[in-house]
Chain A
Amino acid sequence: MSYLSTQLEDNILIVTLDQAGEKVNKLNEELIAEFQDLLQNTDPASIDGIVLISGKKQNFIAGADVEMLKNKQAPEEIEELSQRGNELLLELEHFDKPIVAAIHGSCLGGGLEVAMACHYRVASDHDKTVMGQPEVQLGLLPGGGGTQRLPRLIGIQNALTYLLTGKNIYPHKAHKLGLVDELTHKDAILKAAKTAVLKLNNEKFERKDKRSLLHQLMEGLSPLRKIIYSQARKRAQSNTKGNYPAPPLIIDCVEEGYENGMRAGLDLESRNFGRLAATPESEAMVNLFFAMQGAKKNPDKDKAAEVRKIGVLGAGLMGAGIANVSADNGQYRVLLKDQNAQQANEGKKHIWQDLDQKKDKHIISSFERDRTTSLITATGSYDGFQNVDIVIEAVFEDLDLKQSILRETEKILPDDGIFASNTSSLPIHKIAEVAQRPEQVLGMHYFSPVPKMPLLEIITTDQTADWVTATAREVGIQQGKNVIVVNDGPGFYTTRILAPFMNEALMLLEEGIAIETLDKHMKNFGFPVGPAALFDEVGIDVAAHITKVLSDLFSQRGFSPSDKPTKLFEEGYKGKKNKKGFYNYEQEGSKTKKKEPNKDIYQYFGGPNRSSMDAKTVQQRMALTMVNEAAWCLQDDILRNPTDGDLGAVLGLGFPPFLGGPFRYIDRQGAGKIVDQLETYQKGLGPRFKPADILKDYASSGKTFHNE
């Protein structure tokens, strides 16, 4: 055996899981087969019980092997795999002697399902220990009995919460929910598990019901349970707009198992698992998962220079956010500079507040909050920049300002200091024009709010040195970001594909669509916020600026974008920041809350009478502009590969994850069909729908952007 090793201690069989050659244990066919073998060849009468423990340092079983699922295409194959897993876990559950799981580190997905099939669970209270059923995030469901055993352990309502969101369950919560039976420190889990075996042998173990009285009441009566299921379905529908097939099927499985017995539930679970794995939604999300993992690795790590101290210029929302992730995730020492110490401390205050909230939620201690805050020094001067390894400027979007900042800092930085500009649209080579060391200049485009948004778009010019790119990428990864690297050009990638999309929104508004209708249609299509609300979030002033930056590029293609952003900006519309935009805003405490659409703004879009428009057309026009522009970016060498294009759109702009990104979307629809649609619109609405040449190439040759 290579995955499992066994040892008899005090007549208890200690089974150690240790997948050869891997950092983490994954649930795969090898493990299932070895386990089955082990159970069949172990005589329960000869031992007191079994303890399952991991040989890895920081995981029990980190989840099912997603590659394995990718390699199986047909729903039947995957269903069969799930059935085999379920058979094994039933055998485990029905083993005549107690089986106890000793859990330390990640115990996710298939790992938790194995643990739940055991008779008792001991977990370490370590902060690396985490449980959960994240399958839904891959468009799947827990196919190893998770939909059956989780509700039985923690109750239907609690289980649905975790099954439908996929969120993590930390040790103390897991204990409180009844998911684990005992907590101890990591070096005592084996001992505790062995003691549990003896306990289970000697006395009848009855697990205490830890559900709230209300939950017990609701879940105890069949008619009330019906209400739970139907409420859950309604919520899932409103959250997913019906775009994600997994949530309703998860609810089906829970219901089937709870009402008609475990066996029936497991059968349905395996069937649904097979079904889901074959859906394009799940395929897109699994591919996205791999792309995201890829964007957390640095292929040029060996070229990266060591970074210990980061200078952030500008302590506004962006600068503070960059300082926050640099200290909190990257553990870098940070100088946060603004005009004066007071302004810089405003930024530090926001970071502290963010950390203090984590403290209140018991995610970090007050000492950890202090420590992270202390990694950031707020300053009004360049003192200390003499040994800064990389400066990230996040000042106002103005070329002259950014150039003068570059000139200023280059004088103080060490010779190998890197200058990164956080800009959403200013060409990096323009900023670099004034540089003494242009090879050490690049763009690092963060998304707001920085601590929450997972994407970092790095922009390199022709001159940017490889080690500089590698260093910036490493910093981004350490900051916890998924990093894509693109080439310089107007709007780079994300801003460039956003611009025609937003332009189309303005066109639709001019044609008479109502603000709320437009936003509703796009949310139904799968975007997290509608385009009008996005205008307000991004800022109409910023939109006006972006329009200007991209106008040359678009006029070369024969169209000029709407002048509305500039006009609105001149009329004093800036969006959420000045509470004057496509929506009305009200101040509620420290938060600005979005209210109903601002009807005044219709005066710029043909008056207050709005007409209705076909949802499908609206969605198609909007999506096509973005997808087409992404193709232009690949053709123009802005993008280095389609995967970065998919990641950038999904993580940076909220392109629907179940569609996998613009290039996955094209592949799924077929380039030919996309070209046809674009050309139809081009005839009716003009050259802004002119398909990129590369799309036509792919259409005629039948190629796809992704090949696997």
Chain B
Amino acid sequence: MADQSRNNTQKEAVLVDGARIPFLRSGTGYKKMMAYDLGRMAIEGLIGRSSINGQDIDRIIMGCVIQDVNTSNVARESALGAGLPNSIPAHTVTQACISSNQAVSSAVDLIRTGQARIVLAGGTETMSDIPIRFRRKFRQKLLDARKYKSISDWLSFFKGLRPSDLLPEIPAIAEFSTGETMGESCDRMAAHFGISRKAQDEYALRSHQLAAKATHEGFLDEELLAAAIPPGFETIEHDNGFREDTSMDKLEKLSPAFIKPHGTITAGNSSFLTDGASASLIVEKNKAKEIGLQPKAYLRSYTYVAQDPEEELLLGPAYATPKVLDAMGLTLSDIDVFEFHEAFAGQILTVLKALNSDTFAKEKLNRSQKVGDIPMDKFNCWGGSLSLGHPFGATGTRLVTTAANRLHHEDGTLALVAACAAGGQGHAMILERYDG
């Protein structure tokens, strides 16, 4: 794979701005909101502060994983609800936890192929109002009932229906193909790679502490949009998921959440259910110059990978990272800023270990030696999904935005964004700081 951004085309995609409403634990501040509401708040806030007028946007792409049937193309409804002109085509993409990475990379493609010059890419997710369905048997009855005409038809409605058929069915975060939950799978994977419970708890603690620090020192202000929820319009300006009062003592006391009693994954070292939305403006470089915008970063090569969802469900970044580095002729040491999605502490540590393993490199990557050791002082320095939260469809835009902001803040040149996703998939993208 070649460096797509340099060799194939003259058109370069740049990130002009990215932002998100605060990510909140599910069932808290955004409890009464639909994903559509969160999406439109993120779009409204970003457009409000942007020099780009809504009328000038060519395309809108939003990620979303758990769809509300009332707003199945939530990108379109969010865009209309945010007051953007109805003449802008909008579509929703879904690729589990990398849905909004897909939105961003699709935007890049649209720009490189000349189909669009300004794209709004983002994502939205609520876990506070997931669709709970009736069981299949009862659903079938209800659908059949639409054709009923006589009273005797209605009598047959109850025939063969048991009370238990009326119980609702709550969707689990489980793989359809394997039936295994993500936590179970990750727990097995961490055990396989020999990641200790202690290492996981320490990593989780680090994430929460860094998120707290970044929040207090205002590093995240640039990516945060104040949200206000009707009818009271109390203003929410910060994430509420990170726990700055957590400690090893507290983390160690938690019991395993998935594999009992020997598992290592607990509620404390996993990402939690989160509501939130994000949005970014991705623009063709010359267009950005033309209207006097100051971009943050070039969006360079990106890749998607896929593996066995049973054995390597969340190992995607270990495959995607070398692939995207190779494409640009880079090595890990060229990268100044790392932003990785943290599904579980165990998952991140497994990925880091795999990247730093010659065996893994030989067996799985077909490389003579390991990809390398990622220095932790460049890694997820402003917290991550474990502490900031992980609204499935919105995380990718957060990663890209944070990476770009960190490049400027930490005076780096290149950033690497990577993320895993259900289904055994993964993604990575390289950003390069834009200067003048």
Q: Is the beta-carbon distance between A377 and B81 smaller than 8 angstroms?
A: no
Residue A370 interfacial (CB < 8 Å): yes
B230-269 CB mask vs A (1 if < 8 Å, else 0) is: 1111110100000000000000000000000000000000
Residue A383 interfacial (CB < 8 Å): yes
Residue B89 interfacial (CB < 8 Å): no
Known: A345-B228, A345-B235, A349-B233. A377 touches B53 (CB 8 A): no
Of A353, A356, A386, which one neighbours B51 at CB under 8 angstroms? Answer: A386
Known: A333-B83, A348-B233, A370-B40. A387 touches B53 (CB 8 A): yes
Q: Is the beta-carbon distance between B81 and A349 smaller than 8 angstroms?
A: no
A383 to B229, CA, bound (A): 21
Q: Is the beta-carbon distance between A371 and B49 smaller than 8 angstroms?
A: no
Which residues on the A side are within 8 Å of B81 (C-beta)? 367, 370-371, 374
A370 to B80, CA, bound (A): 9
Q: Is the beta-carbon distance between B48 and A387 smaller than 8 angstroms?
A: no
Q: Is the beta-carbon distance between A371 and B83 smaller than 8 angstroms?
A: yes
* Residues of A339-397 contacting chain B, CB below 8 A: 341-342, 345-346, 348-349, 352-353, 356, 367, 370-375, 377-380, 383-384, 386-387
Residue A544 interfacial (CB < 8 Å): no
A370 to B229, CA, bound (A): 12
Residue A177 interfacial (CB < 8 Å): no
Q: Is the beta-carbon distance between A375 and B235 smaller than 8 angstroms?
A: no
Q: Say how far A382's CB is from chain B's closest CB, in angstroms.
A: 9
A310-346 CB mask vs B (1 if < 8 Å, else 0) is: 0000000000000000010000010100000110011
Q: Say how far B39's CB is from chain A's closest CB, in angstroms.
A: 10
A349 to B52, CA, bound (A): 26
Q: Is the beta-carbon distance between B49 and A384 smaller than 8 angstroms?
A: yes
Residue B365 interfacial (CB < 8 Å): no
Residue B404 interfacial (CB < 8 Å): no
Which residues on the A side are within 8 Å of B82 (C-beta)? 371, 374
Contact residue range for chain B? 20 to 34
A348 to B82, CA, bound (A): 15
Q: Is the beta-carbon distance between A349 and B230 smaller than 8 angstroms?
A: yes
Q: Say how far B105's CB is from chain A's closest CB, in angstroms.
A: 27
A549 to B403, CA, bound (A): 55
Residue A309 interfacial (CB < 8 Å): yes
A295-318 CB mask vs B (1 if < 8 Å, else 0) is: 000000000000011000000000
Residue B55 interfacial (CB < 8 Å): yes
Of B37, B45, B54, which one neighbours A370 at CB under 8 angstroms? Answer: B37
B33-62 CB mask vs A (1 if < 8 Å, else 0) is: 000010011011101111111110000000
Q: Say how far B40's CB is from chain A's closest CB, in angstroms.
A: 5
Q: Is the beta-carbon distance between A379 and B231 smaller than 8 angstroms?
A: no
Which partner residue on chain A sits nearest B228 by CB separation? A345
Q: Say how far B77's CB is from chain A's closest CB, in angstroms.
A: 8
Which residues on the B side are within 8 Å of A384 (C-beta)? 48-51
Which partner residue on chain A sits nearest B56 by CB separation? A308
Which residues on the B side are within 8 Å of A374 (C-beta)? 40-41, 43-44, 81-83
Of B48, B55, B231, which one neighbours A356 at CB under 8 angstroms? Answer: B231
Which residues on the A side are within 8 Å of B48 (C-beta)? 333, 335, 377, 379, 384
Residue B226 interfacial (CB < 8 Å): yes
B206-233 CB mask vs A (1 if < 8 Å, else 0) is: 0000000000000000000010101111
Which partner residue on chain B sits nearest A342 by CB separation? B235
Which partner residue on chain A sits nearest B52 by CB separation? A387
Which partner residue on chain A sits nearest B233 by CB separation? A349
Best-surrounded residue of B40, B45, B49, B53 (most CB of chain A within 10 A): B49
A367 to B37, CA, bound (A): 10
A692 to B286, CA, bound (A): 63
Q: Is the beta-carbon distance between A352 and B231 smaller than 8 angstroms?
A: yes
A345 to B236, CA, bound (A): 10
A349 to B234, CA, bound (A): 9
Q: Say how far A353's CB is from chain B's closest CB, in angstroms.
A: 7
Which residues on the B side are within 8 Å of A335 (C-beta)? 48-49
Which residues on the A side are within 8 Å of B54 (C-beta)? 333
Of A327, A348, A370, A375, which one neighbours B228 at CB under 8 angstroms? Answer: A348
A499 to B41, CA, bound (A): 45
Which residues on the A side are within 8 Å of B55 (C-beta)? 308
Q: Say how far B296's CB is from chain A's closest CB, in angstroms.
A: 14
Best-surrounded residue of A341, A352, A370 (most CB of chain B within 10 A): A370
Q: Is the beta-carbon distance between B53 and A353 smaller than 8 angstroms?
A: no
Q: Say how far B139's CB is from chain A's closest CB, in angstroms.
A: 27
Which partner residue on chain B sits nearest A375 by CB separation? B83
Q: Is the beta-carbon distance between B235 and A333 smaller than 8 angstroms?
A: no
Of B47, B80, B226, which one neighbours A378 at CB under 8 angstroms? Answer: B226
Q: Which residues of A does B touch, CB under 8 Å?
A: 308-309, 327, 333, 335, 341-342, 345-346, 348-349, 352-353, 356, 367, 370-375, 377-380, 383-384, 386-387
5 additional contacts, CB 8 Å, given A367-B81, A377-B44?
A349-B228, A374-B44, A375-B44, A379-B49, A384-B49
